[in-house]
Chains A and B, each alone.
Chain A
């Protein structure tokens, strides 16, 4: 168990450590999904949890997403704290009724908490259109769900811990390309609150609100732009529901320019909601339109050259920030 308490780790391991610490603290937490006990999940997200907690609490399920999420909802309504691990978040499609019509609504009707976590790996990578759907914005559009999307190891650990001490159903998104992202993670009581974004880099000229895999690309762009004298403030949203519009607004009041950078489809995503909300509240204080960066509106393709055309690059972030800063 020595690696469970190590601080320098990967995002996936940090998630695992956070889950393990909470499972040790609270016997009502269990995790179920396909290929968890022996394999540790398809993304090393529950490695060794099987031998640590046994088959009752680390349960291999049939490939029955509706059954595993339904069982999770029913168990959550009856005092347990299930973590349903879908491996790929795309597999939520087989359980959309259970997530949207069951988990998300019980509290509204009956005031009954549904402390259920549905974890899935998402984001663009190889594997084709059915394993790479960006769906985080879908879940943000369902009243009753919270949506976490950490970009760092510390946040993966701190957010899962918060989710497991909360009362609400949480869709926990982890980007494929961040599985092995290394960083420091916190200790057993270092919880990351939902609804509080983090400023990853301070700047005075343009604010970029971003999350997930785009945080790193934006920081790369910000370093290059600094050499041109454009100081970018980089905000990592960390959770998309609740959405920390207050922090974005506070930042944009200073910078007077906003770019929203997501890997999600540019059309109709949560980034569009941020843009709409900010123009509504800060219309007179903006020096430039709010620009949105996102994926072209197409299924995710296989060929690497086509795939590269989907995810916004650091260069695209740079170009868009220059437009927002009126430096092009």
Chain B
């Protein structure tokens, strides 16, 4: 498998946004800035211990989530992986409830019971991050089944990574979705590394996307650092799903700027490689440049969007910090709807 993470000399960094798309694209930029700000703020809070546990930062991958969500409404569903803050926020989750969950507070989206890999808000159609590689696609598969069963015209997007593309369950899900023509958008975020394992060390075949050919569903490999390109791929897939024509497989080639998790001391990639991606393929920078070229955004406009994102994240941190911790006496409450009558200490 040819690595997409290797820098290529002389590649253009430009992306194409039409004048007609500019208004939408400003919204995409705003969402990407919110995600970037959220991750840039939460990471150091993990490192300092203010946020317990770890965190998988999605910095660098914002355009994949925002591009896909540009085509989904609140009644459509998304489910994602262990690296999913970008998907959750792009789908419309309130950053305050996400941040409070990271802090382990009672006001978090899972009441502090989940953590950063178990975010969900069913009211906005985000059916959950997932700590198990590839499993989020299965939840989206079931959502797509329910949509088909009800014939409600909605669709579901399931996210996983290049690591997930090597699990058996992902291809069971793809097969079932294709066999039953379910309205599922299969989104593989190929960031080149499964934790610290390079994709070319772990994967056979021409590409992840090409594997989908065996299941008879349309597939496309798209520049995941180009939000307009992801949007275009999402539009084709969503139109197809809503028309009842079945699932589509999208492999988005992307890159995470930070490590697999906060505090990673990885030796598996060079500083030069990371720098190349930051300088040449940053999805926010590329969209900003393009919108400026179109005359749709000036420096002041950009600063305003960035300030709005910063303010929303500041408010989220403030909400999380001031929220109460969950009551330890509730630790075994609400495990099931039916009382289990399991006996505690006598």
Given contacts A110-B122, A111-B334, A246-B341, are A102 and B135 in contact (CB under 8 A)? yes
Segment at the B interface, from A56-64, A130-138, A293-301: A56-64
Instruction: Report if B176 contacts A (CB, 8 A).
Output: yes
Using CB atoms, name the residue of chain B closest to A169: B336
Interface size class of B (residues with CB under 8 A): 35 or more
A61 to B177, CA, bound (A): 11
Pairwise interchain contact A195-B341, C-beta atoms closer than 8 A: yes
Segment at the B interface, from A36-44, A72-80, A216-224: A72-80
Given contacts A107-B335, A107-B336, are A71 and B149 in contact (CB under 8 A)? no
Instruction: Report if B337 contacts A (CB, 8 A).
Output: yes
Instruction: Report if B143 contacts A (CB, 8 A).
Output: yes
Of A78, A242, A277, the residue contacting B142 (CB under 8 A) is A78
Pairwise interchain contact A74-B337, C-beta atoms closer than 8 A: no
Using CB atoms, name the residue of chain A closest to B149: A80
Segment at the A interface, from B106-114, B273-281, B300-308: B106-114
Given contacts A78-B77, A112-B122, A280-B346, are A64 and B146 in contact (CB under 8 A)? no
A109 to B346, CA, bound (A): 27
Pairwise interchain contact A108-B113, C-beta atoms closer than 8 A: yes
Contact with B along A45-59 (1 / 0, CB 8 A): 000000000001000
Instruction: Report if B10 contacts A (CB, 8 A).
Output: no
A146 to B216, CA, bound (A): 38
Given contacts A110-B122, A113-B337, A146-B336, are A277 and B343 in contact (CB under 8 A)? yes
Pairwise interchain contact A108-B175, C-beta atoms closer than 8 A: no
A113 to B77, CA, bound (A): 17
A36 to B175, CA, bound (A): 19
Interface size class of A (residues with CB under 8 A): 35 or more
Instruction: Report if B173 contacts A (CB, 8 A).
Output: yes
Of B79, B110, B145, B341, the residue contacting A75 (CB under 8 A) is B145
**Which residues of chain A come closer than 8 Å to B47, judged between CB atoms?**
none
Segment at the A interface, from B126-134, B200-208, B230-238, B241-249: B126-134
**Which residues of chain A come closer than 8 Å to B332, judged between CB atoms?**
143
Pairwise interchain contact B346-A70, C-beta atoms closer than 8 A: no
Question: Which residues from 162 to 189 on chain B have a C-beta closer than 8 Å to any C-beta of chain A?
Answer: 168-169, 172-173, 175-176, 179
What is the minimal beta-carbon distance from B234 to any residue of chain A, in angstroms? 20
What is the minimal beta-carbon distance from A185 to any residue of chain B, in angstroms? 23
**Which residues of chain A come closer than 8 Å to B128, judged between CB atoms?**
77, 106, 109-110
Contact with A along B9-41 (1 / 0, CB 8 A): 000000000000000000000000000000000
Pairwise interchain contact B338-A64, C-beta atoms closer than 8 A: no
Given contacts A78-B147, A98-B135, A281-B346, are A68 and B337 in contact (CB under 8 A)? no
Pairwise interchain contact B338-A78, C-beta atoms closer than 8 A: no
Given contacts A74-B138, A110-B110, A281-B346, are A101 and B132 in contact (CB under 8 A)? yes
A64 to B179, CA, bound (A): 12
A72 to B141, CA, bound (A): 9
Question: Which residues from 55 to 103 on chain B have a C-beta closer than 8 Å to any C-beta of chain A?
Answer: 77, 79
Pairwise interchain contact B336-A70, C-beta atoms closer than 8 A: no
What is the minimal beta-carbon distance from B65 to any residue of chain A, in angstroms? 19
Question: Which residues from 325 to 346 on chain B have a C-beta closer than 8 Å to any C-beta of chain A?
Answer: 332, 334-343, 346
Pairwise interchain contact B176-A61, C-beta atoms closer than 8 A: yes
Using CB atoms, name the residue of chain B closest to A77: B127
**Which residues of chain B come closer than 8 Å to A144, judged between CB atoms?**
335-336
Pairwise interchain contact B176-A167, C-beta atoms closer than 8 A: no
What is the minimal beta-carbon distance from A159 to any residue of chain B, in angstroms? 12
Instruction: Report if A124 contacts B (CB, 8 A).
Output: no
Instruction: Report if B118 contacts A (CB, 8 A).
Output: yes
Question: Which residues from 198 to 230 on chain A have a C-beta closer than 8 Å to any C-beta of chain B?
Answer: none
A196 to B156, CA, bound (A): 40
What is the minimal beta-carbon distance from A137 to any residue of chain B, in angstroms? 14
Contact with B along A89-132 (1 / 0, CB 8 A): 00000000110011001111111110000000000000000000
Instruction: Report if A188 contacts B (CB, 8 A).
Output: no
Instruction: Report if A168 contacts B (CB, 8 A).
Output: yes
Using CB atoms, name the residue of chain A closest to B140: A74
Of A70, A78, A143, the residue contacting B173 (CB under 8 A) is A70
What is the minimal beta-carbon distance from B253 to any residue of chain A, in angstroms? 26
Pairwise interchain contact A166-B338, C-beta atoms closer than 8 A: yes
A246 to B342, CA, bound (A): 11
A98 to B169, CA, bound (A): 10
Contact with B along A286-312 (1 / 0, CB 8 A): 000000000000000000000000000
**Which residues of chain B come closer than 8 Å to A277, judged between CB atoms?**
343
Instruction: Report if B120 contacts A (CB, 8 A).
Output: yes
Of B120, B135, B337, the residue contacting A167 (CB under 8 A) is B337
18 contacts between A and B (CB under 8 A): A56-B149, A61-B176, A64-B176, A67-B175, A70-B135, A70-B142, A74-B156, A75-B143, A75-B145, A78-B77, A78-B146, A80-B149, A97-B132, A106-B128, A143-B336, A167-B337, A195-B340, A281-B346
* Chain A residues in the interface with B (C-beta under 8 A): 30, 56, 61-62, 64, 66-68, 70-80, 82, 97-98, 101-102, 105-113, 143-146, 166-168, 194-195, 241-246, 277, 280-281
